[in-house]
Structure 1
Amino acid sequence: MATTEIGSERPTDDVALLVRGVSPVLEVPFTADGEVDYAGFHRVVRYVLGTGVSSVMFPGFASEFHKLAEDERSALTEILLSYTRERPDVAAVIAVQDHATRLAAQRAMESVAAGADLINLLPPHFLAPSRRALADHVRTVLTAIAPAPMVLQYAPSETGTSLDAELLRSIAADHPNLRLVKVESSPPGPLIADLAAGTPALPSLEGYAGVQLPDAIRRGAVGTQPGCSLTEIYVEIWRRFATGDEAGGDELHRRLLPYISYWMLDTERIIAAEKLISVRRGLFSSAYCREPAHHLDAEEVRMVDRVLAEFAEFLPPLG
């Protein structure tokens, strides 16, 4: 894979342009007793890359990053990069969520040196940092990894952090390696449109499981970052919009919406649902989520089985 070392010139092939369309966030399987299932994670990576996507992100909320030990996180990241380093057609987006600016910059630099193509930065949110502190944090990490590109993640529902287009554009004007913004506000469309229309224009990814995906596409989103258990469905929705079949894209999204809108009522619920989907498909053997976690009730389990039945044409068994 095309890589950019700290201090090197930007490669002629712009890896940020690979973060388009569907860019799944990889899940982390655990064994029934709560240990990381590394063999299962290998299968997750192979499955997602086999769907034809051009980028993946790890670790995010869907990866339960906040429940991973440092050595587990490092080992899982290395597994992913072992598949992507030599592939010029796929970008590995490695996430950084450290609250301390010093630690975030260090992790970001180490990730780029290890083979990450882009850094996904979640700004700090504990104890309500000021607008200036947020901007300083982002600018410091951008400077540390330059010229490697960054995706800045805006997830106000999960973090309470407040960002706006004016602030993001001012940062991008000084740091051209801020290449994309992952917008997970509710709704995301207005900020996506505002970022696309400004100077400098900033392309956006839509997150939040794709609940508002059609509107985000119409307002200029260049990609979406859902969890990975239903990747084929999202790929098909995106394909339909990209080829001009808006009615078909709307229809397929309309069918999926009752499921994802319910699961996204809280993050732990959709993590649990997606893990059960992956188990049902044969990707790994245990749907265990580390505590504290959401435990699917009987109706929620039936809901998982209904989505698998309804979308069976897109979701072949993986075992």
Structure 2
Amino acid sequence: MATTEIGAERPTDDASLLVRGVSPVLEVPFTADGDVDHAGFDRVVSYVLSTGVTSVMFPGFASEFHKLSEDERRQLTEILLGHTRDRDDVAAVIAVQDHATQLAERRARASVEAGADLINLLPPHFLSPSRGSLAQHVRAVLTAIDPVPMVLQYAPSETGTSLDADLLRAITVDHPNLRLVKVESSPPGPLIAELAAGTPALAAVEGYAGVQLPDAVRRGAVGTQPGCSMTEVYVEIWRRLTGGEEEAGIDLHRRLLPYISYWMLDTERIIAAEKLISVRRGLFASAYCREPAHQLDSEEIRMVDRLLVEFADLLPHLG
């Protein structure tokens, strides 16, 4: 990778520095019959990369990763990497969510060989593995991809997993390719600050649709990983919060907050809302979510349409 300006020049091999600012999680469009819309996904990737972000993540909760077959996941990953593998200005963060350590290692290595710049690891959570087992799993995947950097995803609301700064720092001492933690605890700020203040310091990105984004930035977050249907709004909020216009950034976030705080009451609801936003913007044809899914009611649909009117200056039609 060539040197890219992100506030300062970076080492040519440090892909983790591209996961700064807004790093959207890509959604997967389906046809009205529930089949993967590959052409629609290709447009999603092109659109998100056109907004000026320097990294994207796939597949995450926002991608409905748990509803994709292995073959679908492979095909979609190849579409994404076809956009990123020959570029030095963007990074593809490919996610690994397998619960068997052997499978997680295998998927992580295969993703790197296919062109992934970073691996996002969601630790196992079915049947509540022990703290020691979690650490062993993370260390094994870090070893498998070394020296490729990892983002470790901490999503306790979705998984029930319990991690803390001391454990993460202990892992980092032995595995310096653990470069970032995606903090989705509620609130994320205290853990973000604790990670930044320790030795070794660990950088953090904030998730959870950016509900706590201003506080996360104040406490040292280096980026945010929301969904991708309204990337331009997040890019502008981030630009203001980190570019000397904090109050303007807080004001713009305050306008967005009633929408995202309601949709984030459960993950399926915000997936459905973001897909409808993308359809309304002309990005793909169907807002179908594979069952089981949240079905937006008439008021929730009106809420999507109000957002598109309120943020029309930042969210143009893409058709």
Q: TM-score, structure 2 length as denominator?
A: 0.97
Provide structure 2 residue ranges, at least 5 long, that are not aligned to the other structure.
3-10
Counterpart Cα distance in 1 of 2:239 and 2:132: 40
Please name the residue that 1:244 is paired with: 244
Q: What does 1:129-208 align with in structure 2 at a 5 Å threshold?
A: 129-208=129-208
Aligned letter for 2:287?
A
Residue 247 (structure 2) pairs with residue 261 (structure 1): no
Aligned letter for 1:37?
D
Please name the residue that 2:278 is paired with: 278
Runs of 4+ in 1 over 4 A off after TM superposition: none
Summarize deviations over 1:154-191 as a string: whole Å, max 9, x none.
00000000000000000001100000000000000000
**Percent identity of paired positions between Structure 1 and Structure 2:** 82
Q: CA deviation at 1:241?
A: 1.2
Equivalent position SS for 2:187? coil
Q: What does 1:44-123 align with in structure 2 at a 5 Å threshold?
A: 44-123=44-123
Counterpart Cα distance in 2 of 1:140 and 1:46: 34
Counterpart Cα distance in 1 of 2:277 and 2:163: 34
Counterpart Cα distance in 2 of 1:21 and 1:217: 10
Please name the residue that 1:218 is paired with: 218
Please name the residue that 1:33 is paired with: 33
Q: TM-score, structure 1 length as denominator?
A: 0.97
Q: CA deviation at 1:243?
A: 1.0
Equivalent position SS for 2:148? coil
Counterpart Cα distance in 2 of 1:290 and 1:313: 31
Equivalent position SS for 2:162? coil
Summarize deviations over 1:5-31 as a string: whole Å, max 9, x none.
xxxxxx843111000000000000000
Counterpart Cα distance in 1 of 2:209 and 2:241: 17
Q: How many residues align?
A: 311
Aligned letter for 1:41?
F
Aligned letter for 1:315?
L
Provide structure 1 residue ranges, at least 5 long, that are not aligned to the other structure.
3-10
Aligned letter for 2:151?
V
Summarize deviations over 1:32-58 as a string: whole Å, max 9, x none.
000000000000000000000000000
Counterpart Cα distance in 1 of 2:162 and 2:134: 9
Please name the residue that 2:8 is paired with: none
Summarize deviations over 1:87-137 as a string: whole Å, max 9, x none.
100000000000000000000000001000000000000000000000000
Q: CA RMSD in A?
A: 0.8
Q: CA deviation at 1:242?
A: 1.6
Residue 35 (structure 2) pairs with residue 43 (structure 1): no
Aligned letter for 2:83?
Y
Aligned letter for 2:147?
P
Aligned letter for 1:184?
E
Please name the residue that 2:6 is paired with: none
Equivalent position SS for 2:98? coil
Equivalent position SS for 2:271? helix
